[in-house]
């Protein structure tokens, strides 16, 4: 059997797409159209009751959800690519950075920018809605900027995020830096250098091309 990957181009699933390609694994892709509500349809909810992306269906039919869980499973299942360091401390730091990216930069910051309506009170006049909308987005930008400043302080001046090798943390950091690039949010110098390093990887270039970005 072949891994089955449920993804949305340009989303957090891009990071998992990069990891799958880095490992050179055979996998089938099913595109999940979020604006059309594909993630809420029964056929998808049967795989992932949370209705989130990405989802990776394994060879035995079991489904893995959540970026961190899928990335960890890939790294542990295919150790030859060293996507998770052997050293216990470096491995812990890799997970720490990945969790911070997904939970804070994405989960608290970019969700306010991309899915602002979720944060608005139910009963608002049109005038109040506009004010609230701007306020929520502004707070999202603040969270993203503050989080990138935290990441900046721990990134090396050159190279990848943790140790000498590309890791699952790099794939996570790339997708939020990609969002910052697309939304014109400035990246601090080391984060910007890391983003350009990732953009230079042939696998990343191929993934972006496959997902419709030129």
Give the mean pLDDT of 93-121: 96
Average pLDDT, the chain: 95
Q: At what angle do helices 13-22 and 168-182 cross, to 10 degrees?
A: 130
* Structural contact between residues 57 and 3, judged by C-beta atoms closer than 8 angstroms: yes
For residues 76-88, average pLDDT = 95
Residue whose token pair is 């891994």:
3
DSSP category for residue 91: H
List pLDDT tens digits, range 176-196: 999 999 999 999 999 999 999
**Structure token pair of residue 124:** 């608002």
pLDDT number for residue 123: 76
Nearest to 17 by CA among 203, 149, 214, 163: 203
For residue 21, pLDDT beyond 70: yes
Q: pLDDT confidence of 1, banded at 50, 70, 90?
A: low
pTM of the model: 0.95
Residue with more model confidence, 118 or 4: 4
CA atoms within a 13 Å half-sphere pointing along the CA-CB vector of 140: 25
Whether 187 and 176 have beta carbons less than 8 Å apart is answered as no
**71/21 Cα distance (integer angstroms):** 12
User: What pLDDT digit, counting tens, does each position of 112-152 carry?
Assistant: 999 998 888 877 777 788 888 899 999 999 999 999 999 99
Averaged pLDDT for residues 85-101: 97
- Residue length of the chain: 214
Token pair, residue 98, equals: 């990945």
According to DSSP H, which parts of the chain are helical? 13-22, 42-45, 67-77, 88-100, 111-114, 126-154, 168-182, 189-199, 202-210
Map out the domains of the chain with their CATH numbers: 3-81 (3.40.30.10), 88-201 (1.20.1050.10)
């Amino acid at each position: 059997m072949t891994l089955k990957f449920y993804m949305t181009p340009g989303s957090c699933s891009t990071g998992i797409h990069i990891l799958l390609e880095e490992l050179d694994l055979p996998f089938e892709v099913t595109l999940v159209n979020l604006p059309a509500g594909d993630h809420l349809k029964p056929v998808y909810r049967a795989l992932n009751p949370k209705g989130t992306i990405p989802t990776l269906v394994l060879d035995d039919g079991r489904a893995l959800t959540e970026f961190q869980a899928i990335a960890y499973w890939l790294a542990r299942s295919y150790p030859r690519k060293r996507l998770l360091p052997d050293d216990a401390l470096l491995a812990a730091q890799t997970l720490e950075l990945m969790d911070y990216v997904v939970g804070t930069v994405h989960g608290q910051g970019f969700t306010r920018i991309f899915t602002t309506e979720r944060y608005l009170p139910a009963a608002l006049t049109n005038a109040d809605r506009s004010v609230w909308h701007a306020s929520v987005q502004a707070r999202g930008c603040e969270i993203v900027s503050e989080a990138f400043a935290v990441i900046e302080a721990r990134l090396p001046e050159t190279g990848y995020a943790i140790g000498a090798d590309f890791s699952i943390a790099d794939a996570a950091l790339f997708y939020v830096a990609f969002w910052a690039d697309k939304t014109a949010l400035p990246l601090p110098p080391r984060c910007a250098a890391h983003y350009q390093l990732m953009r230079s990887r042939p696998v990343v270039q191929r993934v972006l091309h496959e997902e419709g970005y030129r």
